[in-house]
Chains A and B, each alone.
Chain A
Amino acid sequence: MAADRLQVDTIVIGGGIAGMQAALDLADQGYRVALVEKNPSVGGKMIGLSKVFPTLDCCSCITTPKMAAVAYHDNIDLLTYSEVQSVSRNEQGFVVQVLKKPRYVIDDACTGCRSCELVCPLDLPDDANEFGRTAHRVIYVPFTTAVPQKALIDIDQCVFCGKCLQACPSDAIDFSQLPAFLEIQARSIILATGYQVTRYDAKKQYGAGKLRNVIDGLMMERLLAPTGPYGRVLRPSDGKQPASIAYVQCAGSRDETLGVPYCSRVCCMYAIKQAMLLSGMLPLADITIYYMDIRTFGKGYEQFYRSAQAMGITFVKGKVARITEDADQNPTVRVELIDDHSQVVERKHDLVVLSVGMLPGGDPQALYGVPTSEDGFVRIPNYNVAPATTTQEGVFATGTAIGPMDIVDSIVTASAAAAEVSAYLQSHYAAGSLTDAERSLIHA
């Protein structure tokens, strides 16, 4: 694993699907790659999803092999639970200082057997993965399919009872662990810092997060996932199986008042997907999607929309003006039915899902000097022809860091970034800034 200094061709920031794909594409060509992920596991948002459109593959089937591949690839140094502290330029490209946060568990020793979890006496809500709907111990492996399968300790919550110390068969626990620093000399940088969802409590008209049976798309993904908290779909307030579920589209996108005027591109499709999965799991439930425009633009997506209609999912053109709740906490949606003489009606549902949109996952300006566009995503000066090249020489960006997009497009743009980076690297090696021995590595 990583030494204190590392020399690589590329450092990829962000271990979501885009970052992993870019890293694998370069490593498969013989380039050396460091992949830096701030969370304890790679996988990004995708590993938390249920099944994924348009093929309805189980998302783990697509993600987990790539997670394993980045962990085992000879040309990739995987640095999880790590963050970039500073970046500077030198003759050979960039000097990147990376902080490895202490897990309080020795990486090389931990086998992921989870014996520690069995004895740890304290439970914490799993906010990172399950929106607090389940719990994990103070010492825990982030989730079943996490890579690496290594435990970590939430040291702020630990009472140092020492039970895990005794239980660990590999003597992997080390309460005195300190942050480690690593200096990476990199020829180029790829930003794959992904996205966040727009806040589901941002809109006063939609209850500002106070209505218990109004959730967002990502929360619904967890309810639908086979690895999810309940193994079935239950509504938050009373654990009842919802018989009537509504989707409110563009809840957080195409909305100037929220500062998100753009379309988030994935929400139509994920709402339709979730509706289809729901009607499989709850065959008797009524599912309604309130929308402004259905944007099923991708390959096979329009057909996906048609199938959903054929399955009996109701699509209603109308912008939801307000959501309130009744005494039983049933959310009530006030909507103008545009296709039905624009009458304004109130409709009661058991559960409402806000189809929240996408915001950039980070601001690359401070560390990398990379400006963003008005929409907050990384600015790509030659957007049409060189979709991964930023304004800073040697710095590239991909996946949802350059704008909302789905998994297919994230993977394609990641491979595109790999092409731009490899061309950039070749131009340097051709210019003789590498020794012959180093260059021969590339063509090995």
Chain B
Amino acid sequence: MPDPTAESQTAAAGKINASSPAGAPRIGVYVCECGGNIGETVRCEQVANALGKLANVTIARHYQFMCSDPGQKLITDDITEKGVNRVVVGACSLFLHEQTFRKTVERAGLNPYLYYHIGLREQDSWVHHECPADATAKAIRMMSAGIAKARLMQPLAPVHLDADQRVLVIGGGVAGLRAALSIARRGLPVTLIEKSHFLGGHVAQWEHLFPTDEDAAALLEGLIEEVIAESKITIYTGAEVVSTKGYVGNFDIRIRVQPRGVAKDFAAVDQAIAACPVQVPDEFNFGLTQRKAIYQPYVGCYPASPVIDREHCTRCNECLRVGQNGGIRLDEPPVEIDLKVGAVVVATGFRPYEPFAGEMGYGEFPEVITLPQLERLLATNDRLEWNARPVRRLAMIHCVGSRQIEGMHAPQPDGKVNDYCSRVCCTATLSAANRIHTRFPNVTIYDVYQDIRTYGRGHEDYYVRACKNGVTFLRHLPEEIPEVIRSEKGAEYPLLVKVKDRLTWGEEIELPVDLVVLSVGIMPSPISDLVDMLKIAPGNDRFLLEVHPKLRPVETAVAGVVLAGTAQGPMTVQESCAAAEAAATKVAVLLSRGKVELEPYVAQVDPERCQGVGECVCVCPQEGAIHLETRIENGKMLRRAVVTAANCNGCGVCVSVCPSRAIDVQGWRLDGFEAMVEAITAETPALEGVA
């Protein structure tokens, strides 16, 4: 069995391995039915028969699943037995199976770039399934274009480059921490940057975590301890990416680190905090309390030293007057650091949905809070009180800011509603309800929901327990949104929740309560700058988009940039950690050999034709991809364009401006395009008798 890695390594040394096609092209053509995805629309047998008649086609076949082992075997057998030296596959999309078929032809000893893929599914059968005859004719044209190109294809070798093994992890929540730990333990150095001044992300704000009921602080402390103990991890807090350059294996990333303003060994922490006269809402408690401009978010945070919030600090110097001199510096400038990394893990997490003013009484009535606020309320108080009054009855309303319906819910500033389920809020709500019941058994709890989605391992238990704990469930239809209104003056309870309850025959029920808790959904952190810098893409739901949920579930379309945790979509802690570890694995596969492989689709200059005009250098958008070199040949000074393959991304702009047609992109040469266009537009004899 040939070793694919060994093969491509020899290729890297400049030698093209295996069967540079000797003599005339012998093309193998394979039409995949893709189960029924293609075969139910395109008459694949007819396509194969028609194509079999074209020049240089040695064999044309159709098969139910070309990507399966028997399908691949058809190809390898034809290569070894029938001398096929170019392969054209018409199947699903290139994204799905280019790598699959490259490996197949390589296994049979053929250069992997002597295979060409035609997307018969996305570009033909799926869009024309109403008209099989036309779709069949189109398939023939598309495939004959592929064959025309295949006649001209030459063996190519991927570009091999040394890769930086360091990995940048962006975000210090559980996902970022877990990713950093796994990558470091695999043996690769990691730089972890966290935008805020403290590690831990949202988990630091929760009390007990479902489904294990474990102490969130203890979980986080354990994880952070392991991360700190790992010598391969460098951590920067208060740090953000400011610019990025490069590509997989060779990213140049600049980060900016904001100073803490307080020395590590500063001892007079409490005095300094007490001295600070500034009061701002404490984001750690979601605005339930106030904090100073010099602050620590919570006891046991990491790093433990406080930080100065530059935005709100008035430079009054009160804190400087206490304790040691020199422990506090108010005007330290930020530091910029350049990192060379091979891959980037994006673990920037989520933010809770912020209800708009008046949404279910939020912002209108002080007795309406969010679930995250309730969590902080429970964590910081021994009694369940609101506005200094005991809470006797409480209503929790699910799906606020999730599962929204266009036309019914107000859109976000980008014009879109949150039409997705936030996945964690159902169990988080029931977990809070059960904890309230345990600590304050006399509190009456109403749970207003559409569907209870306690889907995960151990989650259903929270639902069962809530039922046993006497939580009253009321179910409404999506289009019958509950209302929160002020009770009449003098009423015993300040608020009324109006629900059309489907569990009691659709009756309109009014629940008088002391407190309403909105189970708000999850939205991605605001990271549009980072998204632009890394050239990755958010999906329709604004969360970062993976290449394919099953084939490449944590990779982005940019090689070397992977996703971890809730930056990709709502997840629990367990799911965030699993995704983070999957990201670590993908990074390890990329970088553990210290080399990366890039596509050979780079510009190539024909020195015979090149006149040294330099138009190409002017238009090239990639720094360092093409330049002019002067050399003396036969006593004459010659200027010639030279390509640096590692920096070229094969966009082909240079090809279009070269006055002497001296440049081509390898693998995508102009003559290939011309042949394809000709084949598509030709009165192909192969089409006879089809349409």
Residues of A within 8 A of B455 (CB): 263, 265, 295, 297
Residues of B within 8 A of A338 (CB): 475, 502-503
Indicate if the CB atoms of B582 and A415 lie closer than 8 Å.
yes
- Rounded to whole angstroms, the CA-CA distance of A297 and B403 in the bound complex is 10
B460: contacting residue among A30, A146, A262, A422, CB under 8 A: A262
Question: Are A60 and B549 also in contact (CB < 8 A) when A293-B452, A295-B455, A423-B182 are?
Answer: no
Task: Give the shortest distance, in Å, between B20 (CB) and chain A (any CB).
Answer: 23
Give a binary string over A87-100; 1 marks a CB under 8 Å from any B CB, 0 the rest.
00000000000000
A293: contacting residue among B3, B4, B451, B588, CB under 8 A: B451
Residues of A within 8 A of B223 (CB): 385
Q: Does A397 contact B (CB under 8 A)?
A: no
Indicate if the CB atoms of A262 and B457 lie closer than 8 Å.
yes
- Rounded to whole angstroms, the CA-CA distance of A32 and B83 in the bound complex is 34
Indicate if the CB atoms of B35 and A58 lie closer than 8 Å.
yes
Question: Are A67 and B451 also in contact (CB < 8 A) when A263-B460, A411-B550 are?
Answer: no
Indicate if the CB atoms of A29 and B460 lie closer than 8 Å.
no
- Rounded to whole angstroms, the CA-CA distance of A384 and B477 in the bound complex is 33
Name the interface residues of A44-100: CB closer than 8 Å to any CB of B: 51-52, 54-55, 57-58, 60-62, 64-65, 67-69, 71-72, 74
Indicate if the CB atoms of A404 and B581 lie closer than 8 Å.
no
Give a binary string over A21-39; 1 marks a CB under 8 Å from any B CB, 0 the rest.
0000100111000000000
Indicate if the CB atoms of B103 and A295 lie closer than 8 Å.
no
Indicate if the CB atoms of A144 and B70 lie closer than 8 Å.
yes
- Rounded to whole angstroms, the CA-CA distance of A411 and B546 in the bound complex is 13
Give a binary string over B209-247; 1 marks a CB under 8 Å from any A CB, 0 the rest.
101101000010011000000000000000000000000
Residues in chain A within 8 A of chain B (CB atoms): 25, 28-30, 51-52, 54-55, 57-58, 60-62, 64-65, 67-69, 71-72, 74, 112, 144-149, 225-227, 254, 261-263, 265, 293-303, 306, 317, 338-339, 341-342, 375, 377, 383-388, 402-404, 407-409, 411-413, 415-420, 422-423, 426-427, 442-444
- Rounded to whole angstroms, the CA-CA distance of A61 and B68 in the bound complex is 8
Q: Does B262 contact A (CB under 8 A)?
A: no
Indicate if the CB atoms of A61 and B185 lie closer than 8 Å.
no
Q: What is the interface residue range for chain B against chain A?
A: 35 or more
Chain A interface: which of B305-313, B571-579, B672-680? B571-579
13 contacts between A and B (CB under 8 A): A64-B65, A68-B68, A149-B69, A262-B457, A265-B455, A294-B451, A297-B453, A298-B569, A300-B549, A384-B214, A388-B578, A402-B457, A411-B553
Task: Give the shortest distance, in Å, between A377 (CB) and chain B (any CB).
Answer: 7
Q: Does B271 contact A (CB under 8 A)?
A: no
Indicate if the CB atoms of A58 and B37 lie closer than 8 Å.
yes
Residues of B within 8 A of A407 (CB): 550
Task: Give the shortest distance, in Å, between B74 (CB) and chain A (any CB).
Answer: 11
B554: contacting residue among A68, A306, A388, A415, CB under 8 A: A415
A62: contacting residue among B103, B219, B550, B581, CB under 8 A: B550
Residues of B within 8 A of A30 (CB): 592-593
Indicate if the CB atoms of A339 and B64 lie closer than 8 Å.
no
- Rounded to whole angstroms, the CA-CA distance of A427 and B230 in the bound complex is 12
Residues of A within 8 A of B103 (CB): 69, 72
Chain B residue with the shortest CB-CB distance to A67: B69
Known contacts A226-B64, A383-B574, A408-B550, then 9 further A-B pairs from the complex at CB < 8 Å, ordered by chain A residue: A30-B593, A61-B92, A262-B461, A263-B456, A300-B549, A384-B574, A385-B219, A388-B578, A419-B581
Indicate if the CB atoms of B69 and A148 lie closer than 8 Å.
yes
Indicate if the CB atoms of A339 and B574 lie closer than 8 Å.
no
- Rounded to whole angstroms, the CA-CA distance of A64 and B136 in the bound complex is 26
Residues of B within 8 A of A112 (CB): 70, 73
Chain A interface: which of B274-282, B387-395, B419-427, B525-533? B419-427
- Rounded to whole angstroms, the CA-CA distance of A67 and B100 in the bound complex is 11
Question: Are A416 and B67 also in contact (CB < 8 A) when A261-B460, A385-B178 are?
Answer: no
A427: contacting residue among B107, B185, B574, CB under 8 A: B185
- Rounded to whole angstroms, the CA-CA distance of A293 and B100 in the bound complex is 40
Q: Does B631 contact A (CB under 8 A)?
A: no
Residues of B within 8 A of A294 (CB): 451
Residues of B within 8 A of A387 (CB): 574, 577-578, 581
Indicate if the CB atoms of B457 and A443 lie closer than 8 Å.
no
Chain A residue with the shortest CB-CB distance to B184: A423
Task: Give the shortest distance, in Å, between B554 (CB) and chain A (any CB).
Answer: 7
Q: Does B543 contact A (CB under 8 A)?
A: yes
Task: Give the shortest distance, in Å, between A317 (CB) and chain B (any CB).
Answer: 7
Name the interface residues of B9-58: CB closer than 8 Å to any CB of A: 33-37, 39
- Rounded to whole angstroms, the CA-CA distance of A423 and B592 in the bound complex is 13
Question: Are A443 and B222 also in contact (CB < 8 A) when A385-B577, A408-B553 are?
Answer: no
Task: Give the shortest distance, in Å, between B65 (CB) and chain A (any CB).
Answer: 5
B97: contacting residue among A65, A145, A418, CB under 8 A: A65
Indicate if the CB atoms of B549 and A147 lie closer than 8 Å.
no
Q: Does B72 contact A (CB under 8 A)?
A: yes
Residues of A within 8 A of B541 (CB): 299-300
Q: Does B269 contact A (CB under 8 A)?
A: no
Residues of A within 8 A of B68 (CB): 60, 64-65, 67-68, 144-145, 147
Question: Are A412 and B578 also in contact (CB < 8 A) when A341-B506, A419-B588 are?
Answer: yes
Indicate if the CB atoms of B453 and A54 lie closer than 8 Å.
no
- Rounded to whole angstroms, the CA-CA distance of A55 and B64 in the bound complex is 20
Question: Are A383 and B212 also in contact (CB < 8 A) when A25-B585, A412-B579 are?
Answer: yes
Q: Does B187 contact A (CB under 8 A)?
A: yes
Give a binary string over B588-618; 1 marks a CB under 8 Å from any A CB, 0 the rest.
1100111000000000000000000000000
Indicate if the CB atoms of B577 and A386 lie closer than 8 Å.
yes
Residues of A within 8 A of B593 (CB): 30, 443-444
Indicate if the CB atoms of B460 and A254 lie closer than 8 Å.
yes
Chain A residue with the shortest CB-CB distance to B63: A144
Chain A residue with the shortest CB-CB distance to B576: A384
Name the interface residues of B166-192: CB closer than 8 Å to any CB of A: 174, 178, 182, 185-187
Chain A residue with the shortest CB-CB distance to B96: A61
Residues of A within 8 A of B211 (CB): 383
Name the interface residues of B67-94: CB closer than 8 Å to any CB of A: 67-73, 92
Residues of A within 8 A of B574 (CB): 383-385, 387
Chain A residue with the shortest CB-CB distance to B36: A226
Indicate if the CB atoms of A375 and B457 lie closer than 8 Å.
yes
Task: Give the shortest distance, in Å, between A124 (CB) and chain B (any CB).
Answer: 22
Task: Give the shortest distance, in Å, between B1 (CB) and chain A (any CB).
Answer: 6
Q: Does B517 contact A (CB under 8 A)?
A: no
Residues of A within 8 A of B589 (CB): 25, 28-29
Residues of B within 8 A of A28 (CB): 589
Residues of A within 8 A of B222 (CB): 385
Chain A residue with the shortest CB-CB distance to B426: A297
Indicate if the CB atoms of B502 and A74 lie closer than 8 Å.
no
Question: Are A147 and B506 also in contact (CB < 8 A) when A72-B1, A263-B455, A384-B577 are?
Answer: no
Indicate if the CB atoms of A415 and B585 lie closer than 8 Å.
yes
Residues of B within 8 A of A303 (CB): 419-420
Task: Give the shortest distance, in Å, between A443 (CB) and chain B (any CB).
Answer: 7
Task: Give the shortest distance, in Å, between A188 (CB) and chain B (any CB).
Answer: 14
Name the interface residues of B320-356: CB closer than 8 Å to any CB of A: none
Task: Give the shortest distance, in Å, between B159 (CB) and chain A (any CB).
Answer: 20
Indicate if the CB atoms of B453 and A299 lie closer than 8 Å.
no
- Rounded to whole angstroms, the CA-CA distance of A57 and B64 in the bound complex is 15
Q: Does B557 contact A (CB under 8 A)?
A: no
Q: Does B548 contact A (CB under 8 A)?
A: yes
Task: Give the shortest distance, in Å, between B331 (CB) and chain A (any CB).
Answer: 40
Q: Does B256 contact A (CB under 8 A)?
A: no
Residues of A within 8 A of B403 (CB): 302
Residues of A within 8 A of B100 (CB): 65, 68-69
A384: contacting residue among B5, B72, B209, CB under 8 A: B209
- Rounded to whole angstroms, the CA-CA distance of A316 and B179 in the bound complex is 42
- Rounded to whole angstroms, the CA-CA distance of A62 and B68 in the bound complex is 9
Indicate if the CB atoms of A385 and B569 lie closer than 8 Å.
no
Residues of A within 8 A of B505 (CB): 341-342
Residues of B within 8 A of A426 (CB): 185-187
Chain A residue with the shortest CB-CB distance to B223: A385
Question: Are A384 and B548 also in contact (CB < 8 A) when A68-B100, A422-B186 are?
Answer: no
